[in-house]
Structure 1
Amino acid sequence: MSMRPARVRTRHRLPWGRGGPLALWAVLPVVAAALVAPTMTAQASGTSLPHARPATSDTPDFGPNVKIFDPSMSSSSIQSTLDSVFNQQQSNQFGTQRDALLFKPGTYNVQASIGFNTQIAGLGLSPDDVQINGYVTSDAGWNNGNATQNFWREAENLSVTPPSGTDTWAVSQGASLRRMDVHGELKLDPSGDGWSSGGFLSDSRVSGQVFSGSQQQWMTRNTDFGSWSNGVWNQVFVGDPNAPAQSFPNPTYTTVAQTPVSREKPFPYIDASGNYHVYVPSLRTNTAGATWINGSTPGTSLPMHDFYVTQPNDSAETMNAALAAGDDLLITPGVYHLDQTLQITHPDQLVLGMGLATLVPDNGVTAVSTADVNGAQIDGLLIDAGSTNSASLVQMGQSGSSADHSADPQSIEDVYFRIGGDGVGKATDSLVINSHDTIGDNLWLWRADHGSGVGWTSNTADTGLIVNGDNVTMYGLAVEHYQKTEVLWNGNGGRTYFFQNENPYDPPDQSSWMNGGTNGYPAYEVANNVTSHQAWGVGSYCYFNVNRAIVNDHAFQAPNTSGVVFHDLLTVSLGGVGTINHVINASGGAANSTTNNVYLANYP
């Protein structure tokens, strides 16, 4: 069997600002011929070579679920498409349709309402390359004005000028705003008096005020805004130049001046010749503000022919053939059932999803794993547990990983895990991080509390996140409803900036939810062997609606040592339904029907 040679790829730094990009890649003819030859031979002979390199192009077919708009199209035709997608997706919470709405550079006079499983994004190198004179909105009319289920939607890389001066993005977990330039105010809660329950804003600018309103919790990173107003329990700001002053718990603002280490999510763009590329922002340390405001985002550009671009009927075997050959993977919108694990084995290899592309591991396999290599990235995916239990859904680095990746960490951005909700799903652990120095950015790990296939013995899941690697950093981490310890942190040097949790709603009785002799399990546990760990802005809530008598002894658990420090902790008994006796270990009072909210500024 003829195999592709070892990966040969040159990444080119881009020297330009916001002008048109230049074609900078050099192709080695001998290598190119060697790479293409196996596929051509297979086609000529009529045989199948499962490890041959799939065909790829700089102007690929992105499949049936990607709509690409260009400024020569009439506003009415674009509006018709946007409305059609929204009408299908507005309340289609657990449906199988996935959509990406992509805008080529130019100016558009349209109104874009964004529903479930939908991504809207610009195809410029800068957000200001795509100007939307209109709204890019998420609201909650479908749910009587309650946005606490506005999940699984994304808006990226756009400049928006709302006609009224205010854009609305009322969302909860699993929703992000990235690389946005909002010319006006940004409202984060729904029209009327409804609630919203989480979200993530990064690498953006808002010229006016951000009005948080009824947002129960929110994470903002590396964003410039005019001012900030309101908030309920937990608003965390990291690397935001105009963030409100640290004031937890009154108001509940946690402010960290600089982002210690970050890597922004890669994004596709199109050049003046009509060729597509993926831009990979560089690793940055000790930063404040957006990457693009004072010039082009530092990073490298990859030609689209470095990627295998999937179609919704592609198999795991096809995708693994591309990964083994050294290609990156661009997973277009769709639901992909996997009968084998997608294996990321090359340094700096990317798996990038579009339009909430969804991976479903069948027969108990792990959906995605990385080797202990530098720079592997997993981005923009929904991982949906299958009906046969998986030991884990995503694994970063093998067990026992030991390499130092501090100069080029692995990262995982805008990845959402779901156990049940659209049918029975099962997974013992959702995300296991073994590689040192890994960065997580906007992750929601959810054992479903509503939908189909939901119940204490149906959508079973022990732990959301296990961190075994050292020096792992998390921004915007939400982990909810798992049945045992929800986050278990075994590595040293860990950092978490914003954590949101809900205990499982549905223990049928106390004996079903015991951690040895202790009532319940911690939402976030730092293992006893850990000597250094810090966390900022962390909250855990209970709502034991199946049995209101359920008690959780403590929401957080950690060794009592000077190197393990928590800042700005809270517990909430939602509506007074159930009890959390202590915030962390034996510190902090009880959240219960009498005292719904408990705040603790520091531990120890």
Structure 2
Amino acid sequence: MILINKNSFTKHSIYLYFLLLLILTGGCNTQNKSVLSEIDFGKNVYVFSPDMKMEHIQHIADSVYVLQSDKHSEFNENRFALLFMPGEYNLNIKVGYYTSVAGLGQTPNEVIINGGVEAFAPPTYNGSVLINFWRSVENLTIVPTKDSTNVWAVSQAAPMRRVHIKGNLRLHDHGAASGGYLSDSKVDGKVDFGPQQQWFSRNCLWNSCSGGLWNIVSLDVLGAPEHQWPERPYLSLEDTLLIREKPFLALNKKNELVVKKPLQRKRMHGISWLNSEDKDYTEVNIVDFYIAHSNLDNSKSLNAALQKGKHVLFTPGIYKLNESLQVTNPETMLIGIGLPTLIPENGNAVMEIADIDGTTLSGLLVDAGLQKSETLIQFGTPESNHNHNNNPSYIFDLFVRVGGYIQGTTHNCLTINSNNVVIDHIWLWRADHGNGAGWDLNKAASGLIVNGDDVTAYGLFNEHFQEYHTVWNGENGKVFFYQSEMPYFVPSPEEWQHDGTNGYASYKVAENVNNHEVWGMGIYNVFFKSPVIVDQAVETPSHIEKKLNHITTIWLGGNESSEVRSVINGKGQSVNINNRKAVW
């Protein structure tokens, strides 16, 4: 038996250990093994079968967690995906940085974990999970064995999707938390938000809930609290106007590995998988995907695959791209497992999507490169004008950061020129800590620029940028949940002024826009370095003011003379040391 200890463990030893376990235990069952043995997912994707010995699977999961949970893990280069074939498992899985846990069933009920799939605060953080980022769990059932409660104590960029919890769900570790995202999930018991500053849930079912501080938004959630804002932080809305759930890997009825792509639904109610049928999905066989590997692939090989009409599945790793990936074929899917990371090398965008129907981006992490880019991901061009209402492009679980891993720089992170694009959970983050983080180091003006019409966002997180965080120029934009923290280390008030205005609003709607709607905004400030003054948290044309619903601004701390003077367009209370919260 190979023993793995904390001091000698590496990602390569876990791979060798896993291979040995497959030999010793017989690995996957014969039928499924033949399906998966033809697919090279690389050394950081682990596929488990219920006929493996549970103690061996547990050892692998624990070893990955050791590697991905210490103080050096937040910006390390390891990436992992733990995939579970249909069946029942007795495991307690802790999920650390850059780790994805997913079932391969057609519904969450086909993969059952008795024990837990959990995320906790680092041992020395006194329960704080303010840096518990970049991890995920999806498409499985959890039967929690400790107090009938599964703990998923996370902040941004840690989605839980398509999960059935046969018990309670606790979203904190008894300390500070800044989450979060939950969708298409059922919790048989109670959801405990605890001290979560904010949280967005969509199309879920739970028995009851409690807790939360400022901005708890529930969209089409059965069991969500009654609307009690602003006395309590709850905003509960009924209709999901338009959604196509995130595609997922699964073994189909023919025992083929496929990507199941749910159909788009309008005015959707409830969870997609409770009574789903085959007709509710399209299946794309894995042979239609180019399986990308960070140690083998580059811009040239990936673009060649895209030109041949292939979809792309990025396996865990870090991909350095000296040219933009050009997506020109309608309905192309670019999906990641294990938080694959794309980095531009020559000031290019990592991806440019033509003005086409039905593209999908999901499960990707993008880092700004050392050379400044104009934007990192672009949909369409400034001249785009096609109507994609019947087959819009979707973005799922996209995380973009500037700094933290390297001293990156860009003007903007995500630019949407195409019409009808739907965003379902993104976090755009100019790093406030980590490598290359500083006012004059990881420079980035904005996180999101929307020029297209009829763009919808569910769960938009956008933080620490140096000018407007979000710039919306298109018509008929709709946003359900917005969270933003202004930059921490502005050198002086004089250095953060423009056009006679003090500071930059977080959210900017252009003056020529006629219609724009938002529900549930939380905008916070912590100006550590200087007495920064910001005239307003939100800036819009006056006729749109009343269409921005339930805005909360918070003065979290910092310089005692700093202040955000109004909520929107000079209206609403200021927030400062004497009045830490304002609402609109």
The TM-score normalised by the length of structure 2 is 0.91
Greater relative contact order (Cα < 8 A, sep 6+): 1
Does structure 1 residue 67 correspond to structure 2 residue 50? no
Matches of 2:494 and 2:378, distance apart in 1? 31
Matches of 1:368 and 1:465, distance apart in 2? 15
8 Å contact kept, 2:527–2:558: no
Matches of 1:373 and 1:397, distance apart in 2? 8
Give the counterpart of 1:169 among 128, 131, 152.
152
Match for residue 137 of structure 2? 155
Match for residue 461 of structure 1? 444
Match for residue 15 of structure 2? none
Deviations 1:182-206 (A, max 9, x none): 000000111xx41110110001100
Match for residue 314 of structure 2? 331
8 Å contact kept, 2:132–2:154: yes
| Structural mapping, 1:87-166, within 5 Å | 87-91=66-70, 92-142=73-123, 143-163=125-145, 164-166=147-149
8 Å contact kept, 1:57–1:304: no
1:225 partner letter? W
Does structure 1 residue 599 correspond to structure 2 residue 583? yes
3-state SS, counterpart of residue 60 of structure 1: coil
Matches of 2:277 and 2:502, distance apart in 1? 52
Matches of 1:559 and 1:57, distance apart in 2? 55
Match for residue 167 of structure 2? 184
| Structural mapping, 1:353-432, within 5 Å | 353-432=336-415
Matches of 2:256 and 2:546, distance apart in 1? 49
8 Å contact kept, 2:529–2:558: no
Give the counterpart of 1:235 among 216, 228, 237.
216
Give the counterpart of 2:572 among 569, 576, 588.
588
8 Å contact kept, 2:131–2:155: yes
2:46 partner letter? K
* CA deviation after TM superposition for structure 1 residue 493, in Å: 0.4
Structure 2 unmatched ranges of 5 or more? 1-34
Deviations 1:465-513 (A, max 9, x none): 0000001000110000000011000001000000000001111001111
Match for residue 268 of structure 1? 249
Matches of 2:350 and 2:161, distance apart in 1? 25
8 Å contact kept, 1:315–1:336: yes
Match for residue 532 of structure 2? 550
8 Å contact kept, 2:483–2:522: yes
2:511 partner letter? N
1:243 partner letter? A
2:239 partner letter? Q
8 Å contact kept, 1:554–1:583: yes
Does structure 1 residue 306 correspond to structure 2 residue 288? yes
Match for residue 34 of structure 1? none
Match for residue 478 of structure 1? 461
Match for residue 58 of structure 2? 79
Deviations 1:110-134 (A, max 9, x none): 0010000110000011001100001
| Structural mapping, 1:522-533, within 5 Å | 522-533=505-516
8 Å contact kept, 1:71–1:104: yes
* CA deviation after TM superposition for structure 1 residue 563, in Å: 8.4
8 Å contact kept, 1:59–1:276: no
Matches of 2:292 and 2:49, distance apart in 1? 23
Deviations 1:351-410 (A, max 9, x none): 001100000011101011111110011110000011100100000112221111011001
2:193 partner letter? S
Matches of 1:130 and 1:251, distance apart in 2? 37
3-state SS, counterpart of residue 161 of structure 1: strand
| Structural mapping, 1:340-355, within 5 Å | 340-355=323-338
Moved more, 418-427 or 142-151: 142-151
Does structure 1 residue 500 correspond to structure 2 residue 455? no
3-state SS, counterpart of residue 56 of structure 2: helix
3-state SS, counterpart of residue 319 of structure 1: helix
Matches of 2:450 and 2:528, distance apart in 1? 30
Deviations 1:428-485 (A, max 9, x none): 0000001101000110000000011011110000010000000100011000000001
Does structure 1 residue 445 correspond to structure 2 residue 428? yes
Identity %, equivalent residues: 41
1:78 partner letter? I
Deviations 1:70-100 (A, max 9, x none): 0110000000000000000013000000000
* CA deviation after TM superposition for structure 1 residue 564, in Å: 6.2
* CA deviation after TM superposition for structure 1 residue 579, in Å: 1.4
8 Å contact kept, 1:100–1:354: yes
Matches of 2:292 and 2:370, distance apart in 1? 24
Matches of 2:255 and 2:316, distance apart in 1? 21
| Structural mapping, 1:9-48, within 5 Å | none
- Poorly superposed stretches of 4+, deviation over 4 Å: none
Q: Is the alpha carbon distance of 1:355 and 1:219 closer, same or farther for their aligned partners in structure 2, counting shifts above 3 Å?
A: same
3-state SS, counterpart of residue 462 of structure 1: strand
Total equivalences in the alignment: 542
3-state SS, counterpart of residue 306 of structure 2: helix
Matches of 2:107 and 2:415, distance apart in 1? 34
3-state SS, counterpart of residue 86 of structure 1: helix
3-state SS, counterpart of residue 110 of structure 1: strand
* CA deviation after TM superposition for structure 1 residue 274, in Å: 4.6
Match for residue 218 of structure 1? 199
Give the counterpart of 1:573 among 555, 562, 580.
555
Structure 1 unmatched ranges of 5 or more? 1-55
Deviations 1:230-281 (A, max 9, x none): 1100000111122211121121111110100111111111236653110111
Match for residue 23 of structure 2? none
Moved more, 79-88 or 307-316: 307-316
Q: Is the alpha carbon distance of 1:294 and 1:271 closer, same or farther for their aligned partners in structure 2, counting shifts above 3 Å?
A: closer
3-state SS, counterpart of residue 537 of structure 2: strand
Matches of 1:579 and 1:148, distance apart in 2? 23
Matches of 2:156 and 2:131, distance apart in 1? 8
